[in-house]
Structure 1
Amino acid sequence: MDKKIDPKLIILIGVIFVSFSSVLTKMCSAPALIIGTYRLGFTSFILLPYVLAKNTHELKNVSRKTLVQCICSGVFLALHFATWLESIKYTSIASSTVLVNTHPIFIVLGSIFILKEKVSRKSLASIFIALIGSAIISMGDSSLGKNILYGDMLAILGGLTVACYMLIGRIARQKLSVNAYTFIVYTSCTITLLLFDFITGTPLYPYPKLDWIIFISLAVCCTILGHSIFNWALEYLSPSFVSTAILGEPIFATIWAIFLFNQIPTLWQISGGLIVIFGIYRFIQVTENSSTEN
């Protein structure tokens, strides 16, 4: 890596790329399932030559247990996209992006009840703060109509399913490189979404040219350049810094939504969103401090 390139600047670019995910989804006329299918499908297709060149031997020797874990992780990632992308069709971008980023709450609950890990009182307090913020957003949105509240619930489900994806992935990645793990997960996610399309009778085509441009943009800009930058940044920056930086996504996404869709956040959304972001930020800091002490 060129030392003149500041990793913090690169991760800011990554956050900006990712923040356009909700905006592009809002602009797309295709159903949420189709958006997810082509986003992950194009991503897997683009990654295929690189993975075959660098990770063929590793992919051939993946154990059955690890493969099953990766596939399960991909299924939950598919459920994440199916619920979160659909939420953007109903609720505001501000509410959707804040609520889906509550996934650390579910990760903590999974760590306690499934992995039997101990969590400090400070961590639990931080998560409780984030829960209060989520409740404030939902209370405010409930007065705007049932459809908006339905969108909020879908966004929260998106946070729950992405937490499951991360929890399973944390185990699977111990046996695989990032490239191999990512490719298997994205491919299984694509196959799962295709299955959802078939079950629900959602057509794979035809769609307008703009939709196809959006599909490719989501794959290249939001997934490969966005999320891949976060993986790259972990080599140079602490996990807490990267996790904190990602909290910028709902902030940027809300700004784009104001100018592009005239979605002015309500007082409930602003106050609740800030409380959620603060709670998750505190959780990240507490987790980092406890890791350093250990």
Structure 2
Amino acid sequence: MPEIRMNPYFILMIGVISVSTSAILVKVSSSDAGVIAFYRLLFTILLMSPVFLLKYRRELRSITIRDWGYTVAAGFFLAFHFILWFESLNYTSVASSTVLVTLQPLFAFAGTYLFFQEKFSKTALLSALLAIVGSFIISWGDFRISGMALWGDLLALLACALVTAYLLFGQNVRKRLSVITYTFIVYLMSTIVLFFYVLIKGEKLGPYPKEEWIYFILLAIIPTLLGHTLFNWSLKWVSTSTISMAILFEPIGASILAYYLLSESIILSQVIGGGVILLGIFFFVREERKIKKRAALEIKGG
């Protein structure tokens, strides 16, 4: 089924704003990390099922064994990304955790170069470096390199590596599958992995108070369906590295929400760092668009 072509950068912006709510919803929940991740994706699957079953299930016949392998791997990495990141929020602040978990260019540049031979100009690399510097500026006043806070920071960094692997596997498959089919399969695989993880860990699946179920459902709707699903849609039109750069905006949105909803203070370094991140993202996206236009003109001219 053909997909509607929209501006991928506008879609990315909506996705980033949506995922910025994720850390807040996880922080206010009192459930275990595996349980939060499981119900987040389970409710997402339930919400997507009617559309998938009615319009997209026939697409399953065209999936190759290789694509099934990539999709299962993407689901596995996404599941453990959620587990590690949600766990990190038990030990460190929203600002520190989101800054570390969105430092994906460090992994994405290496991954796209090694696996997809994607090349980057000096301007793009400098723009990425600028955005990463901005992330460190944001975290400068908040990082506590000691005790459990350090453990939380390490968990967030590992979660960052896993979500980059998830996006890299998805970039390969997404070009051949519709966003609904690809996303549904990945989320289903992640849900299965998380279910067995919760059972093995002995975390309880219920009962929970009403507020917890509300948090689970909101996590499914806002950061997942309006966040990660839009990132999956964008994979057909832009590279993993561009998405990783855009996601660097998440710490800004998450810090603002944490200030108003969780009373976490916003310090000067976060304001300055946010500006530096936005500047880096602007230069990176502009440079990539220039390269794509130049390549398209060369193909047309040739």
For residues 104 and 24 of structure 1, do their structure 2 counterparts lie closer, same or farther at Cα, with a shift above 3 Å needed? same
* Aligned counterparts of 2:254 and 2:120: Cα–Cα separation in 1: 31
Secondary structure of the residue aligned to 2:116 is coil
Q: Distance in 2 between matches of 1:241 and 1:114?
A: 16
Q: Deviations over 1:113-162 (max 9, x none)?
A: 33333222222223333443445556544446432232222222222111
Does 2:115 align with 1:114?
Answer: yes
Identify the residue that residue 62 of structure 2 maps to in structure 1. Answer: 61
Structure 1 residues 182 and 293, CA gap change in structure 2 (3 angstroms) = same
Q: What's 1:193 paired with?
A: 194
Aligned to 1:164: 165
1:243 Cα deviation after fit = 7.4
Report the residue type matching 1:151 in the other structure.
Answer: G
Q: In structure 2, the residue corresponding to 1:113 is in which secondary structure? A: helix
Distance 1:201 1:276, change over 3 A: farther
Q: Which range is displaced more, 220-229 or 9-18?
A: 9-18
2:20 aligned counterpart, secondary structure: helix
CA 1:253–1:143 in structure 2 vs 1: closer, same or farther (change >3 Å)?
Answer: closer
- Equivalents in 2 of 1:7, 1:223: separation in Å? 17
Letter in 2 for 1:32: A
Q: Say yes or no: does 1:83 pair with 2:91.
A: no
For the 8 Å contact 1:98–1:276, the answer to whether it is kept is: no
Aligned equivalents of 2:228, 2:62: Cα separation in 1: 26
Structure 1 stretch 55-64 or stretch 180-189: which is displaced more? 55-64
1 CA distance for matches of 2:15 and 2:126? 30
Does the Cα contact within 8 Å between 1:69 and 1:168 map onto a contact in 2? yes
In terms of mean alpha carbon deviation, does 253-262 or 278-287 score higher?
278-287
**1:71-220 equivalences in 2 (<5 Å):** 71-136=72-137, 140-143=141-144, 145-220=146-221
1:224 corresponding residue in structure 2:
225
Whether the 8 Å CA contact 1:100–1:155 is kept in 2: the answer is yes
SS in 1 for 2:31: coil
SS in 1 for 2:208: coil
Cα shift at 1:282 = 3.0
Structure 1 residues 71 and 208, CA gap change in structure 2 (3 angstroms)? same
Whole-angstrom distance in 2 between the partners of 1:148 and 1:211: 25
Give the aligned partner of residue 282 of structure 1.
Answer: 283
Partners of 1:159 and 1:232 in 2: CA distance: 20
User: How far apart, CA to CA, are the structure 1 residues paired with 2:231 and 2:135?
Assistant: 25
| Other structure's SS at 1:282 match | helix
- Once residues 155 and 92 of structure 1 are traced to their aligned partners in structure 2, the CA distance between those partners, rounded to angstroms, is 11
Could you say which residue in structure 2 is the equivalent of 1:3?
Answer: none
CA contact (8 A) 2:99 2:139 kept: no
Unaligned runs of 5+ in 1: 1-5
Name structure 2 gaps, 5 residues minimum: 1-6, 296-302
Structure 1 distance, partners of 2:10, 2:111, is 33
State the SS of the aligned residue for 2:207: coil
What is aligned with 1:253?
254
Matched-pair contact (CA < 8 Å) for 1:243–1:284: no
| Equivalences, count | 289
The C-alpha deviation readout for 1:51-88, integer Å capped at 9, x for no partner, is 11111211133221111110001111112111222222
Instruction: Point out the more displaced range, 24-33 or 132-141.
Output: 132-141
Matches within 5 A, 1:224-243: 224-229=225-230
User: Structure 1 residues 156 and 83 mapped into 2: Cα distance closer, same or farther (>3 Å)?
Assistant: same
What CA distance in whole angstroms lies between the structure 1 residues aligned with 2:250 and 2:273?
16
CA distance in 2, matches of 1:275, 1:261: 25
Report Cα offsets for 1:263-283 as digits up to 9, x if no partner.
113444444454445434433
Superposed CA RMSD in Å reads 3.2
Query: Is contact 2:22–2:223 with CA below 8 Å preserved after alignment?
Result: yes
140 and 147 in structure 1: CA distance in 2 versus 1, 3 angstrom threshold? farther
Q: Which one-letter code corresponds to 1:120 in the other structure?
A: S
